[in-house]
């Protein structure tokens, strides 16, 4: 049998994808809004955990009530890998846009339903069971939400702007937190603490309905990403020529071929989201329960911190396009390790200015991770398995992060040591540092298995020239290696009488 070599055609300007600016803005808006919807619920849940504890677990003491409410927050993370596996397969087969339209429907509906659940006093054990069912539905849908949204933005972004544009996804996350927290404070201040515990806590969850409708409208109006569409066109062409369907890729095969990328993904997600949940979900309860601040006062501090994060977030993304993603992961991890204890010393000082400063330092360090995560993770995997690989690895690693509020609340309650959160963050910082050191740099490079993408034709020409220059450098390196090998050969041959 004669094997014919597949002829590789030289890259031309037509092979570089020019991104439509109007479609790009729509894609970022729709993805960020859906992500804001997801984190709006997480924000509301964290800020009303004390109220939910009294409504759904009234027989327990205050400490156990808070732990139980946060446990209900954490349990849905157990089903997120299942959601990631389910929606990841669908996303790689049918497209990113279709899956994201489904996840936002489930997410907004389940959040809205939390506000409808009667209290424990009305229906007994059915109340916490229904709460858990709604949270499990959320967890399943969220399993495909963030991964799909990050991929959607990454596949729509020009290579040179992927860090900046990807940072707006977590801008939506933080904005969702701010909206959720602000709404909780607003409703609580209007209706009073007694009425808030009676019925006012339900109102923030009802806001999920209009937000979800807007998100559904925006996502249904989107077109599929250029990268995935190219992938589908290639598959169709190959299938017609070979009369065979493309082979299915199992997670075992993904793990065997992409294990380095999977480990980098897991490490970055753990470092980012443990810090995220510690600061934005656990700290409101820490300030109110452990430090005995009024709920509104603690929430206002966190709101101010998150508002500051909104300004830092796109700046980190923009700088990562220039200096790379790795430096921010490494510096953020080192900073977290060095400043975790000093920050909690300030937080526990009782001085409002020092409390604010301690939380602000942690928030800026968190920005170092969130500013690059959405642009880094999708670039680790090739197009045909990107959704499946990222969704599964992301949601498996987020199991660790999702347990953070419950685990830390329990540890602090058992040990009565208010510095346990700092030690926990130091451990996570080590994971982040190792990840930053060993992960591959992806800034300004095309996505794996995809053609280069540019913002306009002038940038496409520059990318093409860079591609040619890179090929020339690689050929020069190979030529140098050949010369060195030839010298070694000659030196060895000179020692043998029968080899010239």
- Kindly state whether residues 181 and 226 are assigned to the same domain: yes
pLDDT, one tens digit per residue, over 29-63 is 888 887 787 777 766 776 677 677 777 777 666 66
- Kindly state whether residues 282 and 214 are assigned to the same domain: yes
Q: How far is CA 10 from CA 70, 276, 499, in A?
A: 56, 45, 40
Q: How far is CA 492 from CA 284, 482, 496, 498, 500, in A?
A: 71, 15, 7, 11, 10
Whether 258 maps to a domain, the answer reads no
Angle, CA of 266, 271 and 277, to the nearest 5°: 115
Whether 240 maps to a domain, the answer reads no
**Nearest to 112, CA basis, from 58, 44, 185:** 44
What is the pTM assigned to this prediction? 0.81
- Kindly state whether residues 123 and 193 are assigned to the same domain: yes
- Distance (Å, rounded) from C-alpha 23 to C-alpha 31? 12
| Structural domain harbouring 480 | 462-500
76 CB neighbour count, 10 Å cutoff: 23
- Kindly state whether residues 478 and 340 are assigned to the same domain: no
First to last CA, the chain: 35
pLDDT for residue 71? 67
- Kindly state whether residues 355 and 479 are assigned to the same domain: no
Whether 307 maps to a domain, the answer reads yes
Per the structure, how many domains does the chain have? 2
Whether 32 maps to a domain, the answer reads yes
What CATH number corresponds to the domain at position 373? 1.20.1250.20
- Kindly state whether residues 400 and 496 are assigned to the same domain: no
Q: Are strands 17-18 and 453-454 parallel, antiparallel or unpaired?
A: parallel
pLDDT for residue 429? 96
- Kindly state whether residues 175 and 212 are assigned to the same domain: yes
pLDDT for residue 237? 58
H or E segment at 453? strand 453-454
Whether 382 maps to a domain, the answer reads yes
- Kindly state whether residues 181 and 138 are assigned to the same domain: yes
Q: What percent of the chain has pLDDT over 70?
A: 89
User: At which residue do the structure tokens 């923009």 appear?
Assistant: 318
- Kindly state whether residues 157 and 273 are assigned to the same domain: yes
Whether 323 maps to a domain, the answer reads yes
- Kindly state whether residues 223 and 344 are assigned to the same domain: yes
Whether 254 maps to a domain, the answer reads no
**Nearest to 114, CA basis, from 183, 201, 216:** 201
pLDDT, one tens digit per residue, over 243-281 is 444 456 666 777 778 888 899 999 999 999 899 888 877
The region that residue 441 occupies, defined by phi over 0 for left and psi between -120 and 50 for alpha, beta otherwise, is: beta
pLDDT for residue 248? 61
Whether 250 maps to a domain, the answer reads no
pLDDT for residue 242? 47
CA dihedral 476→478→484→486, nearest 10 degrees, is -110
Residues of the chain where predicted confidence (pLDDT) is lower than 50: 1-3, 240-246
pLDDT for residue 3? 46
- Kindly state whether residues 303 and 397 are assigned to the same domain: yes
Contact by Cβ (8 Å): 287, 298: yes
pLDDT for residue 197? 79
- Kindly state whether residues 147 and 163 are assigned to the same domain: yes
pLDDT, one tens digit per residue, over 441-484 is 999 888 887 778 888 888 888 888 887 888 888 899 899 999 99
């Amino acid at each position: 049998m004669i094997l014919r070599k597949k002829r590789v055609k030289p890259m031309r300007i037509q092979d570089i994808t020019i991104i439509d600016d109007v479609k790009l803005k729509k894609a970022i808006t729709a993805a960020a809004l859906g992500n804001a919807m997801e984190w709006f619920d997480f924000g509301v849940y964290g800020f009303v955990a004390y109220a939910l504890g009294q409504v759904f677990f009234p027989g327990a003491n205050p400490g156990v009530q808070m732990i139980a409410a946060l446990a209900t927050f954490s349990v849905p993370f157990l089903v997120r890998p299942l959601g990631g596996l389910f929606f990841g397969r669908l996303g790689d087969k049918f497209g990113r846009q279709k899956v994201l339209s489904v996840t936002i429907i489930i997410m907004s509906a389940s959040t809205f339903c939390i506000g409808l659940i009667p209290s424990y006093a009305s229906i007994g054990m059915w109340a916490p069971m229904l709460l858990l069912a709604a949270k499990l539905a959320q967890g399943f849908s969220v399993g495909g939400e963030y991964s799909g949204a990050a991929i959607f933005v990454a596949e729509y972004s020009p290579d040179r702007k992927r860090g900046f544009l990807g940072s707006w996804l977590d801008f939506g996350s933080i904005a969702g937190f701010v909206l959720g927290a602000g709404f909780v404070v607003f409703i609580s201040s209007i209706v009073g603490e007694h009425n808030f515990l009676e019925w006012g806590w339900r109102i923030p969850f009802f806001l999920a309905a209009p937000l979800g409708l807007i998100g559904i409208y925006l996502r249904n109006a989107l077109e599929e990403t250029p990268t995935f569409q190219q992938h589908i066109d290639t598959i169709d062409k190959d299938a017609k020529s070979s009369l065979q369907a493309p082979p299915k890729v199992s997670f075992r095969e993904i793990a065997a071929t992409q294990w380095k990328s999977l480990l980098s993904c897991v490490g970055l997600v753990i470092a980012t989201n443990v810090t995220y949940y510690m600061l934005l979900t656990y700290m409101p309860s820490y300030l109110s329960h452990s430090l005995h601040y009024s709920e509104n006062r603690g929430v206002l501090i966190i709101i101010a911190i998150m508002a500051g994060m909104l300004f830092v977030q796109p700046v980190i993304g923009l700088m990562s396009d220039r200096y790379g993603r790795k430096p921010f992961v490494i510096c953020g991890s080192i900073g977290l390790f060095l400043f975790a204890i000093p920050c909690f010393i300030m937080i526990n000082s009782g001085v409002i200015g020092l409390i604010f400063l301690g939380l602000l330092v942690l928030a800026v360090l968190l920005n170092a991770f969130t500013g690059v995560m959405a642009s880094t993770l999708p670039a680790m995997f090739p197009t045909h398995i990107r959704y499946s690989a990222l969704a599964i690895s992301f949601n498996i690693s987020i199991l660790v992060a999702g347990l953070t509020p419950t685990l830390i609340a329990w540890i602090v309650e058992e040990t009565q040591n208010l510095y346990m959160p700092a030690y926990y963050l130091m451990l996570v910082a080590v994971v982040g540092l190792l990840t930053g050191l060993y992960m591959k740099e992806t800034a300004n490079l095309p996505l794996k298995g995809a053609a280069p993408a540019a913002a306009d034709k002038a940038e496409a020409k520059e990318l093409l020239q860079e591609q040619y220059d890179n090929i020339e450098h690689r050929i020069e390196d190979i030529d140098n290696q050949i010369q060195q090998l030839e010298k070694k050969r000659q030196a060895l041959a000179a020692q043998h009488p029968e080899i010239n």
